[in-house]
Chain A
Amino acid sequence: MEAIEEEKPSRRSVLDRLLQISAFGWGLSILYPIFAYFKIPPEGESVPTSIVAAKVNELQPNQGKVFRFGNAPAILVKTPGGEWKAFSAVCTHLQCTVQYRNDMQKIWCACHNGTFDMKGTNIAGPPPRPLEEFKVTTKGQDVIVSKA
């Protein structure tokens, strides 16, 4: 007799369960908008595929310059041989912005002493991958950097 009573849920326990479910659903309907609110909406502006990074006579051989390429920094280098090179300036280790060291003739990251050569290859220190290389062309007085 007792066993049967245990199996059959009472009216109260059913109502309690219904109340719990609706309270849970209600809670979710409050928490979901709050959770969604924290998601940063995608950037509206489109990222350009090419940009005028400098003027031809702006850099001397063995000199570099960090410039803005879309939403991220990039680095333009005029090698001692007078060749133009451009890379992403975001270090592949922990995202610091790199710089050109004319004493080393290399791209160097100040944060953890990472070094990249003039092909963008990671040659010393902690960076795990090479820097992304960009295409450089000159048109009149403009040095144009574009994504390959």
Chain B
Amino acid sequence: MVALKSKLTNWIHERFDFSYVQQFASEKKVPHFKGSFWYYFGGVSLFLFIVQVVTGILLLMYYQPGAGTAFESVHFIISKVQFGWLIRSIHSWSANLMVLSVFIHMFSVYFSKAFRKPRELIWYSGFILLVLTFAFGFSGYLLPWNTLSYFATKVGTEITAVVPVVGKPIMHLLRAGDDVTTATLTRFFGLHVAIFPAIFAVILSIHLLLIQVQGISEPESWKEYPIEKKKFMPFFPNFVMRDVLLWLIVLNVLAILAVYFPWELGHKADPFVSAPVGIKPEWYFLFMYESLKYFPAKIWKVDGEVVGVLLFGFAGLLWFLVPFWDNRTPKGLRNRLINYLGILVVLFIITMTIVSVK
């Protein structure tokens, strides 16, 4: 066994020189301090994405898009196929945990100012990945073609129409027509399993590659530290082993959630029944959904909804561009505004979500 392994290694070494990879891997290190815990959430998000890819491909083995087959095929998966209920339930739970993990990862990067120069591109690519994660969630939600997903998609796509000028065409493009129909289902299916994964893979590769090039961000407070005061942990194997252990725990949590709280399928979508009472979007859209309710019907001469949607769009843009307008941090100055603003955003999201759930 050992002889075979060394033979194989030699065979490869004689053909490809991977010594620089080994060199790189042996030098890769992670800052070791009391905030190191937050570094794991990037890895957890990546792991949950891998779970999504694997379970998503498995679901593709039986799923059939189309108004007459989508609901039926998911029902077939969870009732007839061996472990189908488990695969589907893990896919749904993992999607939700991934959004949560991505959120935690983003805020930890934000508060530790890890977006500062020269890391702007990592932040930008990360933000695009966040938006794509939402897009995955939104498009995947429709695929079982049940009542909840049907109306959620109707409302969600309708919202885009309030944006002046470009809104209506975007809505039309998303729905593949004027209304949510079978054509929308087919379109969302294509987006969910082909277009989004392709874009995600490219952006994720860039995101990960840039981190390898620049190394893992050191905390702000280390700026003034002398070299000998900085503590590091080797990435291989110390950090990776911890990473793997956490992934194992996350997978077990997923299994427990999927087994004890299996994801419901609900009733088949019917465009000619009323929307069910208490219908709500997925929890990660709740804060936007709830805040839009508080806008009056008319603000001056403009629809309140238009103002709300544009405000959220603007806030998202500001968030995306934080490395651009935060010009104090790169100079090594403290920028408390960033912290206060971040805390405000977190509190806003949590409060609005709680209010909406109640």
Q: In the complex, A38 Cα to B61 Cα: how many Å?
A: 8
B86 on the interface (CB 8 Å rule)? Answer: yes
When the two chains form their complex, are residues B80 and A37 in contact, meaning their CB atoms are under 8 A apart?
no
Nearest neighbor of A40 in chain B, beta-carbon distance:
B81
Q: In the complex, A44→B248 CA distance in Å?
A: 37
**Nearest CB on B from A13, distance (A):** 15
Contacts of A34 in B (CB 8 A): 58, 83
Most buried by B among A36, A39, A41: A41
Question: Interface digits, A30-51 against B, CB 8 Å rule (1 contact, 0 not)?
Answer: 0001101111010010000000
For A33, the chain B residues whose CB sits under 8 A away are 82-83, 86-87
B66 within 8 A of A: no
Tell me the total A-B contact number using a CB cutoff of 8 A: 22
Q: Does B56 contact A (CB under 8 A)?
A: no
Nearest chain B residue, comparing its CB with the CB of A30 = B251
Residues of chain A lying within 8 A (CB to CB) of residue B61: 37-38
The contact string, 1 if C-beta is below 8 Å from chain A, for chain B 56-82, is 001001000000000000000000111
- Say whether B80 contacts A36, CB under 8 Å: no
Does B80 contact A41, Cβ atoms closer than 8 Å?
yes
B308 contacts A by Cβ under 8 Å: no
State the CA gap A37–B57 with chains docked (Å): 12
- The 6 A-B pairs with the shortest beta carbon distances in the complex, nearest first, are A33-B83, A36-B82, A41-B80, A37-B83, A36-B83, A41-B81
Which of B's residues lie within 8 Å of A, judged by CB?
Answer: 58, 61, 80-84, 86-87, 248
Given contacts A33-B86, A33-B87, 7 further A-B contacts (CB under 8 A): A33-B82, A33-B83, A34-B58, A34-B83, A36-B83, A37-B82, A39-B82
Jot down 7 A-B pairs with beta carbons below 8 A, ordered by A: A33-B83, A37-B58, A37-B82, A37-B84, A37-B87, A41-B80, A41-B81
